[in-house]
Amino acid sequence: MSQNDPYQPPYSGQYIPPPPDSYQGGTGGSDIPPQSPYHYSPAPTRSTGNVLGWLGSAALAVWAVVKYGLVFLVKIPAFATLFTALVSVGAYALVYGPWFAVALVLMIFVHEMGHVVEIRRQGMMATAPIFIPFLGAAIFQRQHPTSAVNQAKIGIAGPIAGTIGATVAFMFYTATQNPVFLLAALIGFGLNLLNLLPVWQLDGAWVLAPVSPWFQVAGLALIAVLAVVFHFVSVLLVIVAILGIQSARAAFRNARNPYYTSVPANARLALFASWLGLVLYLGVMTLQTESLFIALAR
């Protein structure tokens, strides 16, 4: 998910500075002071001084692990993705169970990698997904496309990848009858369907931003229908709706901006058709997998 509002033209990318070099502990590059017991091997005694020295050495060892672990985390993106994914799996597992946690994180990863692949295909740099428990995941990029069409392509690449991932999981279920694959498919279809809501920074807003600002209003109305009629309410969805009001106002303010008006009519039609096709397919598959899952649970 990109960090900019889809209705505020990203004329320049956001620069994310690299992490500072790891502290080298003075001229020698060591974190262990000269007086540390690690520099010699004294015979063990029962004195208080040696006990304090042992505790100090243990504290230094813990600090070294934490410090270099953090450096490893920020300087090696793949490790950051793996680490945050494991943290998210653990957090979700505490609430929903381990299989749900693994399936959810996997489907989020596939979805976000769709964005990453398209960003890099367009010649820009992007990090691998960084997971945020109970909020999803985020990717960070130093550049942003200057074309609304290219931005829309990045927006729809995530749902396309996620739809493919969910479909593969559903095919595995039909072949093996393993309910874990059905759970993964249900999560994938539902997750990507919700992401296509044209509200705030959800993917649907990026895809339909060049088409018409009225889709923002339709997205807010749909959230209201989900809450009032279907009683589908969550804290995250409420936050998205509240932030989406400001985004909808920005959509109409920028409707005449050349960033959007320069998009050809055939490109607008193609974006809308792609979005609608995904919504219809995901809607049908969500209902189908949900009915199978309910029947399986009985």
3-state secondary structure 81-140: HHHHHHHHHHHHHHHHCHHHHHHHHHHHHHHHHHHHHHHHHCCCCECCCEEECCCEEECC
Token pair, residue 93, equals 């597992």
Nearest 5 degrees, angle CA 199-CA 113-CA 104?
75
Q: How far is CA 197 from the centre of its chain?
A: 16
| Inter-residue contact 101 to 89 (CB < 8 Å) | yes
287 exposure class (CB count in 10 Å sphere: 0-12, 13-18, 19+): exposed
pLDDT of 54 reads 63
Calpha distance 238→244 (Å, rounded): 10
- Residue ranges of the chain with pLDDT lower than 70? 1-77
pLDDT of 37 reads 43
Calpha distance 189→284 (Å, rounded): 9
Enclosing H/E stretch for 41:
none
Calpha distance 36→38 (Å, rounded): 5
pTM: 0.74
pLDDT of 44 reads 41
pLDDT of 5 reads 53
pLDDT of 211 reads 96
pLDDT of 212 reads 95
Phi, psi of 138 (to 5 degrees): -140, 150
pLDDT of 80 reads 86
| Inter-residue contact 15 to 142 (CB < 8 Å) | yes
pLDDT of 105 reads 97
